Amino acid sequence: MTTASMEIAILQVIDYMHERLDQDLTTDDLARTAQFSKFHFSRMFREVTGVSPGRFLSALRIQEAKRLLVGTGHSVADISAQVGYGSVGTFSSRFKECVGISPSRFRELDGNFRSLTAQPTSLASASGSAQGLSVHGRIVLPGDRPLGQVFVGLFESPIPQGSPAQCTIMDGPGPFELRDVQPGTWYLMAASVPYGSPSVVAGRGRGGPENLSVGRLGPVTVRPGVLLMPADVVLRPASPLDPPVLIAVPGSSTEATSGGVRRRHEATAIGAHLRAPAGL
């Protein structure tokens, strides 16, 4: 089966997911839609999108919840049911875990994170065991993509959600360094919003916000005494095949701190999508 044929089949399944976010879909249901065995479908879905069908579906549900919270007057309870959660408490907990704030607070802010401080979670121990470990490289923005500030972060999961282990905001593409990285396996995510662009709320459309540039690399293994190759990432347009990015991605008005990995900024709640490399 060609790559193009696999992508067409997976796109059909993703459309099926979008249309049935309120239903209790199983991997068997999705495999039947693609007309493959469960095993072959799961392997193919991960190869094309970088994540499992279940994780992709879960991310789509939170993405749609973000859209409904800003674009409709439905209650949090109603939205919870519309995206397939039987418990409002479970939905609220999952939403906050993925996005960083509660559904109610997200609605109050109209999806706009003003004066939000990006404070990456430092996983280094009190003894400073992560001191000196870093991930560095270069963010490349092709000439046909609009210029904008670039968010770069390290995450435990192929789907960027929750707090990054370390992050930085760059005033455009170029070299970067994430310092004091805890030893382990990480996934690097980069996203760029064009200068002067209005706030974009997650979930508007199935291919991600227009002009959003994204990219990722991983897994990246960080160990003491091992010199990492530069983590170079080429940004590209979003694709419907990419799993949603559920965090708030910074927008404009940055102010660097002495640490270089924490910035005060406005952030844009982006339903961005990034394709994970095959085999993650």
Instruction: Give the pLDDT of the chain (280 residues) as one tens digit per residue.
Output: 788 888 999 999 999 999 999 999 999 999 999 989 999 999 999 999 989 999 999 999 999 999 999 999 999 999 999 999 999 999 999 999 888 889 999 999 887 654 344 444 444 333 344 567 899 999 999 988 888 888 899 998 888 887 788 998 888 999 999 999 999 999 999 988 787 765 444 444 444 556 778 898 989 999 988 878 888 999 998 888 887 877 755 544 333 333 333 333 444 434 434 443 333 3
Q: At what angle do helices 53-71 and 27-34 cross, to 10 degrees?
A: 100
> 3-state SS of the chain?
CCHHHHHHHHHHHHHHHHHCCCCCCCHHHHHHHHCCCHHHHHHHHHHHHCCCHHHHHHHHHHHHHHHHHHHCCCCHHHHHHHCCCCCHHHHHHHHHHHHCCCHHHHHHCCCEEEEEEECCCCCCCCCCCCCCCEEEEEEECCCCCCCEEEEEEEECCCCCCCCCCEEEEECCCEEEEEECCCCEEEEEEEEEEECCCCCCCCCCCCCCCCCCEEEEEEEEEECCCCCCCCCCEECEECCCCCCECCCEEECCCCEECCCCCCEEEEEEECCCECCCCCCC
pLDDT of residue 127: 39
Query: Model-level pTM?
Result: 0.76
Q: What is the pLDDT, as a whole number, of residue 197?
A: 64
